[in-house]
C-alpha cells in the first residue's frame, strides 16, 4: 500500500535545468494542497519516450524501471509534471506489471545496477490529472485566493493522453480535463484550429531536424495567433521549451512578431493559490516578460471547509 | 430449455426396424468380401492372402475374394451369404464408403438386415492406389485394415430410421424484404406462415431508401406489390409490433411464443389520419432518421403496411383528442400486450441488419455537438426522399443551406481493425456512387468527392454506374480520411485525407460529410439468437451451415437464415437468399415428414454425474437438461458428430456405432494389437 | 546416441504404424482424392474414419499408442469449415493438452498432432502424413517415443 497524500516527485531533465520556476510552483501547489513530496535520490533521465525507446526498447525499460524502483522503495506513487516523463514511466510501469516475461528480463538486468527489483507496487501520476480529477475544479476553487480572468490557448501535448488504451485518462480526440479545471481559476480556454497537434519538439524531431520542428510549430503558432489568447498554457516542460524558443526562432527567422507568454499549469495554479507573481518566473522566460496576471481577489474564509 | 414431451408430440413411426432386435445377444456371423477391383486392388494387394486371413478371424463365417464386388454377381454374393449362411454383419473391402458403401448397405437391407450392419473398408484409395511400389507393405496394411473392419462389424448395432411428421406451418422472424419474400414463397406452396415483425410496419430498410441501384428505381414501388401481397395473403398471419419470446422444440415441430405489444388502435382503423392531424405532440421520426416529424399517434410513413395507426405511449400526453376525434372509435388506450403461441415446422430468421453507428470513430466526430453536418448515408437517403423535411433537397442540417461541397467517406466501420470489423460490407461503394451521382446531377455546381480505399462494384451494370458517376463530375480520391476538423472560428468542416495515388496530403473543405456506414448485425440479435440456440459468426451475424453449399441453413436443423442476418448483401442477393431459405424450409413441410437416421448418442445414467458439459459442447444444441438436472438427447436435433463423447468425464454418453468400445476394437486392429507396455 | 540408432534404416524400421483419425468430411475426402490421383505415401499410415475429429479424445489417442501405434494424427477440416462448426477446434485444444501431458511425462511431444486438409486437394492430406512422419522421426531421434520410454 502506497503512502497516502504522498508523492515521489520525479523532476526529469528539462525542468530542473531550464525552468526551476515550474518546480517551485509545483511544490508550492502540492504542499498547500496537503500532499507531501519526497525527493527521489539517484533518479535519472526517465529516459525519453521517443528517441531512447526507438533505439533499444529493453534498455529503455530497464532505465525507466530503475526510476520506478526508487519510488517503490519510498512507497509512494510518482508525480511528474512532464508529458515525456509521464509517457515513459506510466507506460513502462503498466507494461511490466502485465508482462511477466519482460518483467523477468528487466529485473535480471536491474540486478547488475544495484539493489533494484521492479515489484509493480506503485502508480505513475501526472499533475494535470491529479489536479484535473483528484482535486478537481470544485476542490481547487476552495483553496485559491484569486481568479485570473484570462483567455488561454490550451496545449495538451502528445504523451499525456495517448495512447488512450494505455493511459486510460480521457479521450484524446476531444479532451476537456484541463479546460474544465482552469475554468475554476477564471481562465477561458479559446479553441483554435488543429488544437490537438504536436508542438513539434518531441520524438527526436527537434534534435534531428530543427527545420521540420519549426515548420510544425510555425503552423501551430499561426493557428494560435488567430485567436489572440492572453497566454499559452501547457502541461509539459518540453512543450514549454518549444513554445518559448520556437516563438523566438520564428520572430528572428520568419518575420513573425509573437510574444505570447508561455505558462505551465503549475505556475498558473500556484499564482492563483497565492504565490507571488515574481516567483512564477515569467521574467526569466523569453516571451511575455511584461505580462501581468492580475485577476481578482476572492475572499476565502478560513472556516469554510 | 427443456423439451416437454407432452407439448410437442408429433406422429412418429419407425420406418425401418429389422429382424435383429436383440443384436447384443445374438451370435455375430460376419461375411467378409475382398474385392479385386480388376487390377486396381489385386495388382498391388494379395487379395487371396487377405481373404484367407480374414476367414480365420473369430466370428467370420465366410471370407471370399472376387473380381468386382460392386457388380451384380458380386452384390448377389453378399446377399446369398445372408440367405444361406445366416450372415448378419458384412464387411466389404474395396473402394471408399462414399462410392459403394451404400450399394452394399442397400443390398443387405433388401435381405432384412439393418443397413447399418455393413462395414466398408477402403483398401483401394487408402491402400492399393497409394502404395503401388510396396506390395508387401500394402498387403500387410490391408490385413490390418480388414481386421479392423471385422472388429467393427462384430459390434455394430441396428440404427433405426425414424419418420417424424412435421407441423405444416412456418414462422418468419422479420418483415423486411427477406422476410416478405420467403413468407410469400412459402405461402404460395400452401404453407400457413406466421410473420413476426418488431416494428409497427413491414418493409424494413428497403422502404427507407430513396432509389435503388443500378436502375435508380423507387424501392417503395418495387416492394409495394409484395407488402400488399403478404398483408392480404390468406395463408399469412401478420404480427407487427411483435417479438419472439420463446422457442421450444426441434426441426419439424417447434412451439413459439410471440409477444405482441399493444398498438392502442383497433383493427377497424380506416387510416384516415384525423388523429394524427390533431395530435398536439410532435417528435422526430425514427423511421425517417429525424428528417421529418411524426405525432404521438402516427403511421410511420404514408404507404405503411399495416395501415393501422399506432400510438407511442411514451410521447403521448393522454389529452384524448384522438380518441374523441376518431370517426370509427378505433383508439383504445386500454389495450394490453398479448401473447400468442403458434406451432410450426420450420423457422426462417430474416431479422435484417443495423446501420453501423460511427460515434465510436472519434476523429469523425459523428453525433457530437457542432458536427451536425456529418451524417450517414441512410440520413442522406431520407433527405432525398419524396416526403422529407427538406423537400427532397440536400441541405446542411446545421443551417439548412445548400452545401457547396459534399465529401463522402467510404469504409466507415468496415475494413477497420480499430473498431473490430474487418469485413467489407460490399454494398457501400455501390450506394455511395449511386447517391453521389444523384447529388451531382441535382446540383451541378456542388463539388462531390468520394474518399475511398478501393472501389468495389462487381456485377452487371455496376462498373457502368461507376463510370457514369465519373462522367458527371464526381471526384474520386483514393485515401481514407484521418480526421474531420472544424475551424473554431468559422465553423467550417475540413476533411483531412491523403491522396495516395499522387501522394499528396489534402484538406478538403466540406459543407456536408456523408459517412458510408457499414452493415452490422441488428440490435437485439444476441437475445434472439440465444432463444433459437443458433451459432453466430465472429462478426456477430448468424452463422450459416456451410458458406458455399448451404448459406441459408443455420447451425440448427429447422431454422433457416434469409437475408442480411447472415451477412451484408444487397437487395438482389437478399431476395435470392430468401428464396433459397423458403425452399429449404418448405421441403419437410410439403413432404409432411422428415426421415432421420437415429445415429444419436445414448446416455448411461449410472455413469452420468450431471455435470452438463455435454450440453455446453453440443453445437446444434441437441442436449437438454431436464427438471432433475439430467441430460437428455434431442434425437431430432442431433447431428451425429460425436463431440459430446470425449468431453464426458465418465464416458457416460456414447454415440451409437461409434462408442469408445467399438472404436477401441478398430484401433487395436489398426495399430497392430501388440501391447507396448505390459 | 550411437550412429546406428539415427541411421535411416533404423528410423525406417521404427516407423511401422501411424494411426490417422480422419473426419468424415474433409479428412477422408482429402485422402480419397489423394488415392484417386495415385499419390504416394508411406504404408505406415493407417486411416480410421470417424464422424468428426471432435469425436477423438485422449482415450482413443492413448489406446492407439498403447497398442502398437508409433504416432497418432488427427486430420480434420480447415478452421472455420468444420461441418459441425467447431469440432476441429475442440480437437486442436485436446491435442495441445495431450502434447503438454507427454512433455511432462518426459516423452517427446511430437508424435501426436492435429492437422487440417481440404477434400478436393489430395496433397493436403499427403502433406499432413509426411509431416507426422517427420515429427515421429524427431521423436525417435530424441528417444522420446512411448516405445523408448518402456
pLDDT tens across B527-575, in order?
999 899 888 888 999 999 888 888 999 988 899 999 999 999 999 999 9
Over residues B217-234, mean pLDDT: 93
Interface test mutation site (partner B, options C19, C28, C32, max chain B beta carbons within 10 A): C32
pLDDT tens across B165-200, in order?
999 999 999 999 999 999 999 999 999 999 999 999
Instruction: Give B 200-239 residues with CB within 8 A of chain C.
Output: none
pLDDT at B437 over 90: yes
Cβ–Cβ gap A174/B362 under 8 Å: yes
Interface test mutation site (partner B, options A191, A225, A227, A229, max chain B beta carbons within 10 A): A191
User: Looking at residue B358, what DSSP letter applies?
Assistant: G
The CA distance from B364 to the nearest CA of chain A, in Å, is: 9
In a shared domain, residues B473 and B573: no
pLDDT of B19: 45
Distance CA C47, CA C31 (A): 9
CA distances from residue B59 to B28, B81, B115, B116, B242 in whole angstroms, order as listed: 6, 14, 19, 18, 63
Q: Let me know if B317 is exposed, middle or buried by CB neighbors in 10 A (0-12, 13-18, 19+).
A: exposed
CA atoms within 13 A on the CB side of B328: 12
Task: Flag whether B675 is in a domain.
Answer: no
What's the domain count of chain B?
Answer: 4
pLDDT of B104: 92
The CA distance from A203 to the nearest CA of chain B, in Å, is: 21
Contact C43/B137 with Cβ under 8 angstroms?
A: yes
In a shared domain, residues B513 and B546: no
Distance CA C127, CA A165 (A): 43
pLDDT tens across B37-77, in order?
999 998 999 999 999 999 999 999 999 999 999 999 999 99
Over residues C102-124, mean pLDDT: 90
Distance CA A112, CA B677 (A): 51
In a shared domain, residues B529 and B624: no
Residue C14 near chain B (CB below 8 Å):
no
Instruction: Give B 382-441 residues with CB within 8 A of chain A.
Output: none
Instruction: Give the residue with greater pLDDT, B586 vs A298.
Output: B586
Give the three cell numbers for residue B331.
383508439
User: Looking at residue B479, what DSSP letter applies?
Assistant: S
pLDDT of A225: 95
Kindly list the residues from chain C whose CB atom is less than 8 angstroms away from the CB atom of residue B133: 40
Cβ–Cβ gap C50/B122 under 8 Å: no
pTM of the model: 0.80
Instruction: Give C 80-119 residues with CB within 8 A of chain B.
Output: 81, 83-87, 90, 94
Task: Flag whether B98 is in a domain.
Answer: yes
> Which residues partner with B164 through β-bridges?
B12, B594
The radius of gyration of chain A from alpha carbons, rounded to an integer in Å, stands at 19
The CA distance from C115 to the nearest CA of chain B, in Å, is: 17
pLDDT at A159 over 50: yes
Q: Which chains touch C (3 or more CB pairs under 8 A)?
A: B
pLDDT of B291: 81
ipTM: 0.92
Distance CA B200, CA B285 (A): 13
In a shared domain, residues B202 and B256: yes
User: Looking at residue B450, what DSSP letter applies?
Assistant: E
Q: Which of A77-91, A176-190, B542-556 has the lowest mean pLDDT?
A: B542-556
Of C31, C50, C63, Cβ closest to residue B642: C50
Q: Let me know if B135 is exposed, middle or buried by CB neighbors in 10 A (0-12, 13-18, 19+).
A: middle
Q: Read off the pLDDT band of C147 (50, 70, 90).
A: confident
Kindly list the residues from chain B whose CB atom is less than 8 angstroms away from the CB atom of residue A195: 488
Task: Flag whether B197 is in a domain.
Answer: yes
**What's the per-residue H, E or C state across chain C?**
CCHHHCCHHHHHHHCCCEEEEEECCHHHHHHHHHHHCCCCCCCCEEEEEECCHHHCCHHHHHHHHHCCCCEEEEEECCCCCCCCCCHHHHHHHHHHHHHHHHHHHCCCCCCEEEEECECCEHHHHHHHHHHHHHHHHHHHHCCCCHHHHC
CATH number of residue C69's parent domain: 3.40.50
pLDDT at B1 over 90: no
Domain boundary among B96, B125, B159: B159
Kindly list the residues from chain B whose CB atom is less than 8 angstroms away from the CB atom of residue C66: 675-677
In a shared domain, residues B96 and B216: no
CA atoms within 13 A on the CB side of B558: 33
pLDDT of B389: 79
pLDDT of B26: 80
Task: Flag whether B575 is in a domain.
Answer: yes
CA atoms within 13 A on the CB side of A294: 11
| Longest CA–CA separation in chain C, Å | 48
Average pLDDT value over all residues in chain B = 91
pLDDT at B391 over 90: no
**What's the per-residue H, E or C state across B362-385?**
HHHCCCCCCCCCEEEHHHHHHHHC
Over residues C114-136, mean pLDDT: 91
- What whole-number percentage of chain B has pLDDT above 90? 77
Contact B525/B543 with Cβ under 8 angstroms?
A: no
CA distances from residue B375 to A139, B273, B365, B372, B408 in whole angstroms, order as listed: 40, 31, 10, 7, 10
Kindly list the residues from chain B whose CB atom is less than 8 angstroms away from the CB atom of residue A193: 485, 487-489
In a shared domain, residues B387 and B505: yes
Instruction: Give the residue with greater pLDDT, C9 vs B516.
Output: B516
Contact B246/B299 with Cβ under 8 angstroms?
A: no
In a shared domain, residues B26 and B137: yes
pLDDT of C1: 45
In a shared domain, residues B47 and B34: yes
Beta strand B504-510 pairing with B493-499: antiparallel
What's the domain count of chain C?
Answer: 1
Alpha helix stretches (DSSP H) within B129-176: 135-154
Instruction: Give C 24-43 residues with CB within 8 A of chain B.
Output: 28-29, 31-32, 34-36, 38-41, 43
Instruction: Give B 351-370 residues with CB within 8 A of chain A.
Output: 362-363, 365, 368
In a shared domain, residues B195 and B213: yes
pLDDT of B8: 41
Distance CA B574, CA B350 (A): 10
CATH number of residue B534's parent domain: 3.50.50.60
- What whole-number percentage of chain A has pLDDT above 90? 82
pLDDT of C3: 53
pLDDT at B253 over 90: yes
Of C54, C56, C146, Cβ closest to residue B676: C146
Give the three cell numbers for residue B562.
434469409
Domain boundary among B501, B519, B537: B519
Smallest Cα–Cα separation from B3: which of B244, B341, B248? Answer: B248
CATH number of residue B24's parent domain: 3.40.50
pLDDT of B675: 58
Distance CA B292, CA B302 (A): 12
Smallest Cα–Cα separation from A48: which of A17, A12, A9, A15? Answer: A12
- What whole-number percentage of chain B has pLDDT above 70? 95
Domain boundary among B591, B606, B638: B591
Give the three cell numbers for residue B199.
416494428
Interface test mutation site (partner B, options A172, A193, A197, A227, max chain B beta carbons within 10 A): A193
Q: Do chains B and C touch (3 or more CB pairs under 8 A)?
A: yes
Q: Read off the pLDDT band of B20 (50, 70, 90).
A: very low
Range of the domain at C42: 3-149
Range of the domain at B618: 598-665
Helix (H) or strand (E) holding B470: helix B462-472
pLDDT of A301: 52
Residue C146 near chain B (CB below 8 Å):
yes
Give the three cell numbers for residue B487.
475551424
Instruction: Give the residue with greater pLDDT, B7 vs C150.
Output: C150
pLDDT tens across A140-153, in order?
999 999 999 999 99
Domains, chain A, with CATH or none:
6-126 (1.20.1050.140), 136-294 (3.40.50.11810)
Give the three cell numbers for residue A98.
502485465
pLDDT tens across A240-267, in order?
999 999 999 999 999 999 999 999 999 9
In a shared domain, residues B224 and B369: no
pLDDT tens across B317-361, in order?
999 999 999 999 999 999 999 999 999 999 999 999 999 999 999
- What whole-number percentage of chain A has pLDDT above 70? 97
CATH number of residue B657's parent domain: 3.30.70.20
> Which residues partner with C75 through β-bridges?
C22, C115
Q: Which chains touch A (3 or more CB pairs under 8 A)?
A: B
pLDDT at B142 over 70: yes
3-state secondary structure of B505: strand
Kindly list the residues from chain B whose CB atom is less than 8 angstroms away from the CB atom of residue A190: 488
Amino acid at each position: 500500500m502506497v503512502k497516502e497524500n504522498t508523492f515521489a516527485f520525479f523532476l526529469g531533465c528539462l525542468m530542473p535545468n531550464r525552468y526551476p520556476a515550474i518546480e517551485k510552483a509545483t511544490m508550492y501547489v502540492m504542499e498547500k494542497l496537503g500532499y507531501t513530496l519526497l525527493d527521489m535520490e539517484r533518479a535519472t533521465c526517465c529516459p525519453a519516450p521517443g528517441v531512447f525507446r526507438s533505439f533499444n526498447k529493453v534498455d529503455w525499460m530497464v532505465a525507466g524501471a530503475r526510476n520506478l524502483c526508487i519510488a517503490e522503495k519510498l512507497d509512494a506513487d510518482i508525480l511528474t509534471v512532464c508529458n515525456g516523463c509521464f509517457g515513459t514511466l506510466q507506460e513502462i510501469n503498466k507494461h511490466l506489471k502485465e508482462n511477466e516475461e519482460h518483467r523477468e528480463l528487466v529485473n535480471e538486468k536491474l540486478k547488475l545496477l544495484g539493489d533494484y527489483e521492479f515489484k509493480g507496487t506503485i502508480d505513475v501520476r501526472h499533475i494535470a490529472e491529479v489536479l484535473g480529477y483528484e482535486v478537481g475544479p470544485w476542490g481547487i476553487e476552495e483553496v485559491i485566493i484569486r481568479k485570473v480572468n484570462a483567455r488561454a490557448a490550451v496545449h495538451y501535448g502528445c504523451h499525456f493522453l495517448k495512447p488512450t488504451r494505455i493511459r486510460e485518462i480521457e479521450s484524446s480526440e476531444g479532451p476537456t480535463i484541463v479546460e474544465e479545471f482552469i475554468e475554476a481559476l477564471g481562465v477561458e480556454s479559446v479553441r483554435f484550429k488543429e488544437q490537438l497537434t504536436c508542438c513539434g519538439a518531441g520524438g527526436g524531431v527537434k534534435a534531428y531536424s530543427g527545420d521540420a520542428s519549426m515548420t510544425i510549430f510555425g503552423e501551430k503558432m499561426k493557428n494560435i495567433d488567430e485567436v489572440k489568447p492572453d497566454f499559452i498554457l501547457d502541461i509539459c516542460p518540453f512543450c514549454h521549451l518549444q513554445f518559448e524558443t520556437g516563438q523566438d526562432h520564428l520572430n528572428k527567422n520568419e518575420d513573425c512578431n509573437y510574444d505570447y507568454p508561455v505558462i505551465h499549469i503549475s505556475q498558473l495554479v500556484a499564482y492563483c493559490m497565492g504565490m507571488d507573481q515574481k516567483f512564477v518566473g515569467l521574467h526569466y522566460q523569453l516571451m511575455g516578460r511584461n505580462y501581468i496576471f492580475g485577476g481578482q481577489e476572492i475572499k476565502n474564509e478560513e472556516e469554510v471547509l | 430449455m427443456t423439451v416437454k414431451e407432452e407439448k410437442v408430440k408429433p406422429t412418429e413411426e419407425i420406418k425401418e426396424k429389422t429382424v435383429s432386435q436383440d443384436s447384443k445377444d445374438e451370435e455375430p456371423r460376419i461375411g467378409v468380401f475382398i474385392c479385386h477391383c480388376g487390377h486396381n486392388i489385386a495388382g498391388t494387394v494379395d487379395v487371396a492372402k487377405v481373404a484367407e486371413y480374414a476367414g480365420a478371424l473369430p466370428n467370420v463365417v465366410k471370407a471370399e475374394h472376387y473380381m468386382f464386388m460392386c457388380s451384380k454377381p458380386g452384390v448377389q454374393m453378399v446377399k446369398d451369404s445372408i440367405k444361406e449362411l445366416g450372415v448378419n454383419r458384412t464387411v466389404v473391402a474395396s473402394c471408399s464408403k462414399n462410392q459403394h458403401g451404400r450399394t452394399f448397405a442397400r443390398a443387405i437391407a433388401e435381405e432384412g438386415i439393418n443397413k447399418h450392419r455393413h462395414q466398408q473398408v477402403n483398401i483401394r484409395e487408402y491402400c492399393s492406389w497409394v502404395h503401388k511400389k510396396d506390395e508387401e507393405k500394402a498387403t500387410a496394411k490391408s490385413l490390418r485394415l480388414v481386421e479392423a473392419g471385422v472388429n467393427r462389424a462384430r459390434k455394430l448395432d441396428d440404427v433405426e430410421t425414424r419418420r417424424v411428421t412435421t407441423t405444416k406451418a412456418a414462422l418468419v422472424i422479420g418483415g423486411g424484404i427477406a422476410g416478405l419474400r420467403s413468407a410469400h414463397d412459402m405461402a404460395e406452396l400452401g404453407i400457413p406462415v406466421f410473420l413476426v415483425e418488431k416494428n409497427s410496419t413491414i418493409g424494413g430498410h428497403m422502404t427507407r431508401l430513396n432509389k435503388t441501384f443500378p436502375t435508380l428505381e423507387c424501392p417503395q414501388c418495387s416492394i409495394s406489390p409484395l407488402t400488399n401481397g403478404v398483408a392480404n395473403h390468406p395463408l399469412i398471419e401478420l404480427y407487427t409490433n411483435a417479438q419472439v419470446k420463446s422457442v421450444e422444440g426441434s426441426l419439424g415441430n417447434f412451439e413459439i411464443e410471440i409477444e405482441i405489444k399493444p398498438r392502442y388502435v383497433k383493427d377497424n382503423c380506416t387510416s384516415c389520419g384525423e388523429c394524427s392531424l390533431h395530435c398536439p405532440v410532435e417528435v422526430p421520426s425514427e423511421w425517417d432518421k429525424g428528417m421529418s416529424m411524426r405525432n404521438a399517434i402516427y403511421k410511420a410513413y404514408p404507404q405503411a403496411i399495416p395501415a393501422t395507426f399506432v400510438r407511442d405511449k411514451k410521447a403521448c400526453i393522454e389529452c384524448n383528442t384522438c380518441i374523441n376525434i376518431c370517426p370509427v372509435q378505433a383508439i383504445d388506450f386500454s389495450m394490453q400486450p398479448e401473447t400468442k403461441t403458434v406451432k410450426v415446422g420450420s423457422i426462417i430468421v430474416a431479422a435484417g441488419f443495423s446501420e453501423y453507428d460511427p460515434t465510436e470513430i472519434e476523429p469523425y466526430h459523428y453525433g457530437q455537438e457542432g458536427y451536425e453536418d456529418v451524417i450517414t448515408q441512410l440520413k442522406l437517403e431520407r433527405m432525398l426522399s419524396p416526403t422529407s423535411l427538406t423537400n427532397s433537397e440536400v441541405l446542411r442540417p446545421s443551417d439548412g443551406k445548400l452545401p457547396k461541397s459534399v465529401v463522402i467517406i467510404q469504409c466507415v466501420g468496415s475494413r477497420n481493425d480499430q473498431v473490430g470489423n474487418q469485413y467489407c460490407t460490399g454494398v457501400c461503394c455501390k450506394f455511395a456512387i449511386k447517391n453521389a451521382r444523384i447529388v451531382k446531377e441535382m446540383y451541378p455546381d456542388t463539388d462531390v468527392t468520394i474518399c475511398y480505399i478501393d472501389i468495389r462494384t462487381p456485377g452487371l451494370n455496376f462498373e457502368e454506374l461507376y463510370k457514369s458517376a465519373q462522367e458527371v463530375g464526381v471526384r474520386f480520391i483514393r485515401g481514407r480520411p484521418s480526421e474531420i476538423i472544424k475551424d473554431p472560428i468559422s465553423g467550417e468542416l475540413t476533411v483531412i485525407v491523403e491522396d495516395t495515388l499522387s501522394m499528396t496530403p489534402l484538406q478538403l473543405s466540406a459543407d456536408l460529410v456523408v459517412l458510408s456506414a457499414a452493415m452490422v448485425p441488428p440490435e437485439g440479435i444476441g437475445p434472439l439468437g440465444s432463444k433459437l440456440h443458433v451459432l453466430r459468426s465472429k462478426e456477430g451475424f448468424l452463422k450459416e451451415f456451410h458458406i458455399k453449399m448451404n448459406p441459408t441453413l443455420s447451425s440448427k436443423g429447422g431454422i433457416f437464415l434469409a437475408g442480411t442476418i447472415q451477412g451484408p448483401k444487397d437487395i438482389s442477393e437478399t431476395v435470392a437468399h430468401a428464396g433459397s431459405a423458403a425452399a429449404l424450409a418448405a421441403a419437410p413441410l410439403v413432404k409432411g415428414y422428415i426421415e432421420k437416421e437415429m445415429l444419436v448418442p445414448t446416455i448411461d445414467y449410472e455413469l452420468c454425474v450431471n455435470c452438463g458439459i455435454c450440453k455446453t459442447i453440443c453445437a446444434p444444441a441437441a442436449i437438454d437438461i431436464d427438471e432433475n438436472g439430467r441430460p437428455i438427447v434431442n434425437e431430432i436435433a442431433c447431428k451425429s458428430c460425436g463431440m459430446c463423447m470425449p468431453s464426458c468425464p465418465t464416458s457416460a454418453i456414447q454415440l451409437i456405432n461409434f462408442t469408445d468400445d467399438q472404436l477401441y476394437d478398430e484401433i487395436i486392429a489398426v495399430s497392430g494389437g501388440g501391447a507396448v507396455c505390459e | 546416441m550411437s550412429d546406428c540408432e539415427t541411421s535411416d534404416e533404423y528410423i525406417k524400421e521404427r516407423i511401422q504404424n501411424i494411426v490417422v483419425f480422419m473426419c468424415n468430411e474433409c479428412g477422408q475426402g482429402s485422402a480419397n482424392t489423394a488415392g484417386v490421383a495415385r499419390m504416394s505415401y508411406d504404408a505406415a499410415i493407417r486411416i480410421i474414419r470417424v464422424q468428426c475429429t471432435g469425436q477423438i479424445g485422449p482415450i482413443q489417442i492413448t489406446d492407439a499408442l498403447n497398442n502398437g501405434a508409433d504416432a497418432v494424427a488427427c486430420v480434420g477440416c480447415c478452421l472455420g469449415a468444420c461441418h459441425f462448426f467447431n469440432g476441429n477446434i475442440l480437437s486442436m485444444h485436446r491435442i495441445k493438452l495431450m502434447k503438454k501431458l507427454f512433455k511432462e511425462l518426459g516423452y517427446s511431444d511430437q508424435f501426436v498432432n492435429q492437422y487440417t486438409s481440404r477434400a478436393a486437394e489430395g496433397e493436403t492430406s499427403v502433406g499432413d502424413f509426411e509431416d507426422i512422419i517427420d515429427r515421429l522421426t524427431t521423436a525417435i531421434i530424441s528417444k522420446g517415443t512411448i516405445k523408448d520410454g518402456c
